Structure 1
Amino acid sequence: MGVQRSTLFLNVLIGVLLLWSIGTGIGVGLALAGTLNIEHFYDVGRSKVALPSKVLDVKDRLITEFFSHEKREIVSIEELPPHLIYALITREDQEFFRHNGFSVRNFFRALWNIVTGQYFSGGSTITQQVAGYLYTDRREITITRKLKELWWAFQLERNLTKKEILELYLNTMYFGAGTYGVEAASQFYFGHSARELSLAESVMLVIQLASPARYSPINHPERAKKMQWTVLQEMVRLGYATEEEAKASFDEFWRNFDYTRPQNTSAFFEREDRAPYFSEYVRQQLEERLLGTFNIYTDGFVIHTTLNLDFQEKADRYMQEGFARVNAVYRSNRSRARSKAEQEFIPVLDMLSLAFDLPEIAAGEKRRMQDAKQYAMDNLFPVLEMSTNLFDIQELATPIERENRKRQQERGRTRVEGALITLENDTGYILAMVGGSSFEQINQFNRAVQAKVQPGSSFKPLYYSAAIDSRKFTPATLIYDAPVVFWNDDGTPYTPLNYRGEWKGYVTVREALSHSMNVPSLKVLDAIGFDSAIERAALLLGISDPTEIARTFPRKYPLGLGVITVSPIQMARAYAVFASGGKEVTPLAIRYVEDRNGRIVLEPEKELREEQKRKGDAIYLISPQTAYIMTSLLQSTVEEGTLRYARQLVGGFPMPMAGKTGTTQNWSDVWTVGFSPYFTTAVWFGFDQPGNSLGVNQTGAVTAGPVWARYMKAIHEDLPAKDFPKPSRGIVEVEVTEHGLLPPPGYTGEVRTEVFLTGTEPKEFDSIVEFEQERDQILESKLFDSLLVQDTPDELPLSIGIELDPEIRNLMESLDAGPSATPGGGIAPTPQEELDLSSNPLLD
């Protein structure tokens, strides 16, 4: 307790000394000002030159510029509602009408807030903020800069009235999302003039001034809501509003708040941009990290990013081809389904409607009404919208806006979207990013980063890596693939199917993963347990918060088939760990930022590298040996599994590739995630709104796979070929038979070289082949003897019952023992059990 008091006393003492220093500096500054007779005090309010910030790619080529047109509509303070002024004073400077530019009370309150860890408002007065914004570089945390700011604040107080200072402040300052001045901010956030601001709206705008990224009602509505209520209560305490007015306005604000507004919306979308989704991603990160008075729209920063424009151009081209193809196939599927319904079902329903006087089931009439409505939306509403804007017919604005929202929602259900993201394995650089089919005012959602969709079978490698680590499984472990019932902890059964409903019997782990077999995969999950699988998946995906982990990963068997929600950037991050030899890969977009004078003001890459260095060996999320085996398994997917078609389609690759496909329940999402020794790329296609199907003819293998393959081949064309690095120890390669065992002496069957963690390689010879040969010989002999008859009767019996020799029966039963003889096997269904197959995902 004594230490805390001493620390508090020391902090207060430092603050007092700082105040004395500032006072002394002010005196000196004023004396110098009087002596030198400042000659260039231009019109107060004249701003420094605004320069756009340049966004450069990894080769210093221009991607885009961040700028603000700053076409403000200057609003007189007399036209603004009084509660806006009261809200500003409450939040920023409660002593505004009682000080001459500097407030001792504000200073000590800010100092106390720093000492106690609380925050409501800063120490600078409104006049100081205007002076600092117009005449100093507020990024400098120096006494010199503070003295300049104070001197200019005094000049403003001497030359302007309090109302003029408030008017200058409200028409000049930055309110977030690319808006300057209260009028532009009001139009952007609320869609109407600042002259019409309500009490709660005024408070919401005022709290943007301190940190628009932190308190944005669009990006962080709950955080903004809490601060808004805090300021409203302070206004009540100061007598600027009654409790009833504050509560009524607050409730009205949130009752009408649009929670569906895109989070990454901003006030500029017409700029030329060669990678708009990536640029917006960078802009959001800068607004989070460049706090205070940094202004990315006017300060002339040079932002050095990780993007490679060559890769981005290829990504855009192949994704646009993918969008065209997947939407064309989807529309064709819908058209065929609709045609069949019209031919077979609608006439029957119409006949029943007429026969039994049931107009509510008259499908033909409903169909015509739907067609008419669709025609109106596609052809008439655009004309009406143009007429409304042209002739200012406000009566039509509301219904048109309502229909536009419906159209956007319908497009989310019926338009196939997608995303692509590429990471460099060694650095985590984001080299290419496609967040959707088009970046526009009504389609700003960055699916590469923000989409939460099911990964399907592309999720399987994450927990397969835990199975390899457990040493219970190797690439050669045999698993029995047959119908099985798995029982969840709540007693509900789960009966997975393989894609196309096929069963393969005994398969190796390598075959099960490369051909995306569901039952063997769930047996792997069952054997290692949910805890191990979830821990590994969360680690690879970069999810550390326990609450988020519990929400993301249900402890039920569908988890093993990817029935969770993740983003493409998370999947790329997870697979990049395999490609990087087990090391953590953190996606990185910004390398460093320079100001207009070439001074580095932000170094995200340097900070990341220092953090990684501090981790030491902890940077390895999985061992290099496990990463190498997982890479080998995923290479089989490209060579002989579900990505074989895509590989053949592009004529092969210039170097080794590894990856996995995924198709989710009802064919609603399709994936391919894969990597080379250089780069990792995730490709996803699906819908923004759930509940629709791409069609059974669109899977990860045939839809996402070709896009991934074409793109990956293109970005590797000019690179020297190399192989995935093999650990120098901890890995052994052994020749095994098709059953994953050592070939016995004299063995003439097929063998392959398999990789194992040292100590997990097989020690036994394969006797299954000899066993099968012996069984077949005995079976053939016994069956021949049983069917051999000396005299053939004139009439054959309707059926012949054959009593098998006990020796034959024992041999056959031992071979076909099935799931009970395999690790992690569930309970085999009895003939009486009805398997509910309708709700099971058929994954590739």
Structure 2
Amino acid sequence: MGPPSGGAPAGPPPAGPPAAAGRAGVGRASVVAARPKPAPGTPPPGKKRKKQISVRRRRVYAALIMVCLMLLGAVTVAGSWFFQNVPAPKDLKFGESTTITYADGTTVAGYGEYTRKLVDTYEELPDQVVWGLLALEDKDFFEHDGVDYKGTMRALVNNVTGGDTQGASTISQQYAGMVMEIRDDMSYGRKAREAVMAMKLEQQYSKETILLHYLNLNFYGRGSYGIAAAAEIWFGVPLKDLTWGQGVMLAMQVKAGDGSFDPRLVEEGDTAPLDRWTHGMEQLLTLTDDLSDEQLAAVQTELDAGMPATLETLENPGTWGHEGATGFITNPTDGYIWEELESRYGLTQEDFYGEKEGTGGYTVQLTLDPEIQALAIETASRGDLKRVKNDDDQFVDDNGEVVERAAAAEYVNDDGFFEFEDDNDKAALYEFNESMADAVVAVEPGTGRVLGYYGGNNGLGIDKAGIENPHPPSSTFKMVTAATAILEGASIDSWWNSDSPREFEARGDAGPVSNAGRTENIDKTLTDSVRDSRNTPMYAIAEKYGATTVLETAIRMGLRTMQATSSGDIYRFYIEDDGTITYTVHNTVEADGGYVTDANGNIDPLASVNGYDDDGNAVRTPLNLDDTRAPFDYEIGFGQFPTSVKDMATVYATIANDGVYNETHFVEKVLDRDGNEVPTIRGLEETQAMDASIARNLQWVGSEIDGDGGAIDHPYTGKTGTWEANWDGFDDANAHTWYVGAIKQLSIAAWVGNATAESAPLLNKDGGTDNVFGGTLSYPVWKQFMEGAIEAKEYERVDWTQAEPQGSAIVDDIVNDDGTIDADSAYCATPTGAADTRCAAAHQPGGGGEECDPISEWMGLCTNEEEGGPGGGGGGGRDD
């Protein structure tokens, strides 16, 4: 938060907590032992004592004269020097830590070297803090003009006559001393300078302003700067909710940043904190002219109850809150928000850290909706991974040494897989095999706001929803391929050869493409090819129009990253201002074969860039649409190349938004320390990726694809996906399942995989590999999350707008080399096909002594005794 009238005192936090002034400096009484009797034979003390008194008197007189001269004769000169060299309250610009919140303002995390929070106005300071401080430090604050002359003289006399060193500085003097960083100077000259500064300060600023900035400036121990931060760190409450006892406890710390008055830091039996607190509370009871009877009664009640307990945490760095599920978004190493903040606001992480003068103090409000984020965690979290324990139930590392849980070795079962604790009985996969992991992302169509994000429990670990751990999108990508076909002129009623296995010359030695191991000879419409999740038509579409064209469609729909399976390189895509597409290449594997990792030891897919320009920026290469097979090949059509869960949620948000892409983002807005919204340096991208009619065709195609548990009670569009495993001992197993779907108000992508590795198999409830598909694993996750969000946000039912099929019902892919269409093609059974001369020969019953073709049999023109029934045909329904 920011200061009134141009800024609260803020500045670079010191290298460490300020040195304590010592207990004597807070006015504690000095206890002096009785003078011993003179030893036998020594002269009587009379003359010696007289000489000592004379020396002390001279010291006192000299000091008094010096102080008077400086206070009276040098005020003008010193005052001029003060205003030339000492920053006034409105000019102080200390660094301040940055706060990160949910969309509703609830605090999520902090970022900075220390936790520093500034109070904006004096009115925000509760009486418990104001009078608690004055009771201990300066009871006459509102009466004097900056200097307590009696106190100063009394302390001066005591100091020069050999008593305990006393401070007697007023709040104004202390403030001036802190600003000029001369508090460690215990000389009389320093006291005089402070006094002059304090008087001039009070001539220019109100008491309230001085007190506000004093409380903002101080270090309170436990890593807290500013009274607002101290309230939260010491007691876990906002400033306004402090009690009288808590206010005094914090006031005790203003000159004890070393912890000498921290009850959790002093040695056992040390009563200094209790003594000081009791003194402060008793002093409050003397302020009968300033506190009401009700307030005084509350002070007495709290005094009788005893010193308040503080939180146990003693170390409170300004950077915190990044270890949980939201850490993937906020953590300082590779959290999504930092790049976004620099791109959209022109602010670097250094600006938010608050180490330098005038930096930090921001509030970054995320797009995350707290209700939807809570649902994401509740739906997807299976707890932490199990850790190895010894026979004594203690956590141990790989060497068997007893360690804390975080450092313990990860448990591996007999199959070689990690397992979750599975302690969340509300998780969608609660009853499933404990090795199964999931990730979910929710994006709002029409805005691009990420409302919910779960990539794992540990925000400093591996993000299963992000690009550092991408997954093959499999059949969910077929909606993109279908969109490409429509954009290129084919309609949802176009026909495609769905034979399996099917040979493609472009595949070469890679062999034929199959439809999940099926053997079939069948043609399907584009609609049914997607709904029935056939691979061969998707490869054919990519080959016909170009893999790069499919990629372009995906990018314009919101895809921003994709991984090359052969090299492991990550391609990152950009849409430039002129609409062209460029990309950067990031190496995930180093020359020695090891992975590129970040500061947390995780794979960092974006750290290493394959090429920089003269300014040190990553080289952006234009996407060459004339090269139909680069950077990705035709297998892109059925979702072979890994991407992130976040990107897939964005793609379907574009479909739900009638073809309009809105840039996915995590930052709703940024406020400066004064609470003013920081302007952006660029707007969020919003482009028409495809005509609304095409998007509405896609909405209809996905409107009948669901899974276990049936459809939700809202119009939706979606697609399942499944990708095979490659793990010894597990034949015919699958490694990834997906469901990505949207209602008009929300798009959700749900992925399920094995926690151990990308190629490890998925297991059912019994530990087997049967019946493990997108419809049986990922759809239940998606359904639970979506239904929870619908209920929480009260989303209304919104029907999809119907649109006539766009493009032409082409049949090129089902036409044979001789220009005919197979007699058993379902196309030939349609009214259009029946009139197509390329199907005419197929309608001759028994033609040429051959077996009766299925169409003729279906029409009753002939019969195959051994087979019977109609041939071919498509149809909606579930796929993988």
User: How would you bin the TM-score normalised by the shorter chain?
Assistant: 0.3 to 0.5
The structure where helix makes up a greater share of residues is 1
Give the structure with higher Rg (CA): 2
TM-score normalised over the length of structure 1:
0.47
TM-score normalised over the length of structure 2:
0.45
